[in-house]
Amino acid sequence: MSDAKVIEDKYRALMGRLDEATLRLWAAVEARSLARGGVSTVAKATGLSRTTIYAGLKELESTMRPLASILPITVGDTGKPRIRAKGGGRKRLIRFPEKHDQFDAL
Q: How does pLDDT run along the chain (106 residues), one tens digit per residue? A: 688 899 999 999 988 888 888 899 999 999 999 989 999 999 999 999 999 999 999 988 886 555 555 555 555 556 666 666 677 777 776 666 666 667 667 6
- What is the Rg, in whole angstroms, of the alpha carbon atoms belonging to the chain? 19
Q: What is the pLDDT of residue 55?
A: 92
20 C-beta neighbours (distance < 10 Å), count: 13
**45, 80 Cβ separation under 8 angstroms:** no
**57, 26 Cβ separation under 8 angstroms:** no
Q: What is the pLDDT of residue 50?
A: 94
- Say which amino acid occupies 23: L
Q: What SS3 class is residue 8?
A: helix
Torsion of CA 42, 48, 49, 52, to 10 degrees: -90
Q: What is the pLDDT of residue 77?
A: 58
Q: Which region holds residue 33: left if phi is over 0, alpha if psi is between -120 and 50, else beta?
A: alpha
**53, 42 Cβ separation under 8 angstroms:** yes
- Taking the whole predicted model, whether its pTM rises above 0.75 is answered as no
